[in-house]
Amino acid sequence: MTNIMNNVEIMKELKNLAREKDEILGYENRNKETSYAENETPLKSPYDYKDVSERLESLNLKERKLKLALLKANNEIILDDYNIPLSIALIYLAQENINLERLKKLANKDALTRTTLIRRANSIEYTKLNYELKDVRNDLQIARKNIQKLQMLIDLANLTNEVEVDI
């Protein structure tokens, strides 16, 4: 059966498949064994190994098809503002978020700090930054704007670009 889906729908379906697989594995874990006392007849278990295996393989096949469709879409969708495929934009976004955290730490410093050292007869020690705070704060603003723009373009692409999925 062929469905037309956007990336968000594919991702939701992947989450549903993961939840369904977890439920099946939970069922299997609870029912795969039967304990009984000596001289007792074991209770009949509803567990069927072949049925569980077939259901899991069916879900795994759907998952592979959905992930392949998502992979293809992410490589074919080009974010015009950056002239890069969506797959690269996702990597770029992650890198920018890491850089944002670095810039926040650098921007959250005083240009010069003074510390009184008791261990050295109350001497004073100064620590100065080896970078310009204004440059870091400017780069921080640029990074924030870039992340917002990237995230908006990624969200738009995920919602508007549709692909055929054979599931």
Residue 100 pLDDT > 80, yes or no?
yes
Q: Which residues of 39-58 are buried (b: 16+ CB within 10 A; e: fewer)?
A: eeeeeeeeeeeeebeebeee
Tens-digit pLDDT profile for residues 118-164: 776 678 888 999 999 999 999 999 999 999 999 999 999 999 999 99
DSSP characters over the chain: -EEEEEHHHHHHHHHHHHHHHHHHHHHHHHHS-----TTSPPPPP---HHHHHHHHHHHHHHHHHHHHHHHHHHHH-EETTTTEEHHHHHHHHHHHHHHHHHHHHHHTS-SEEEEEEGGGTTEEEEEE-SS-HHHHHHHHHHHHHHHHHHHHHHHHHHHH-EEEEE-
Q: Would you state the pLDDT for residue 1?
A: 83
Beta bridge partners of 163: 5
Mean pLDDT, to the nearest integer, of 23-39? 94
pTM value is: 0.78
Tens-digit pLDDT profile for residues 54-91: 999 999 999 999 999 999 999 999 999 999 999 999 99
Q: Would you state the pLDDT for residue 120?
A: 66
Give the total residue count for the chain: 167
**What are the structural domain ranges in the chain?**
1-76, 78-162
Q: Would you state the pLDDT for residue 129?
A: 93
| Residue 160 to residue 1: CA distance in whole angstroms | 22
Res. 117 pLDDT band, cuts 50 70 90 = confident
What residues contact residue 125 under an 8 Å CB cut-off, 6+ apart?
A: 114, 115, 116, 117
Residue 116 pLDDT > 90, yes or no?
no
Tens-digit pLDDT profile for residues 2-17: 999 999 999 999 999 9
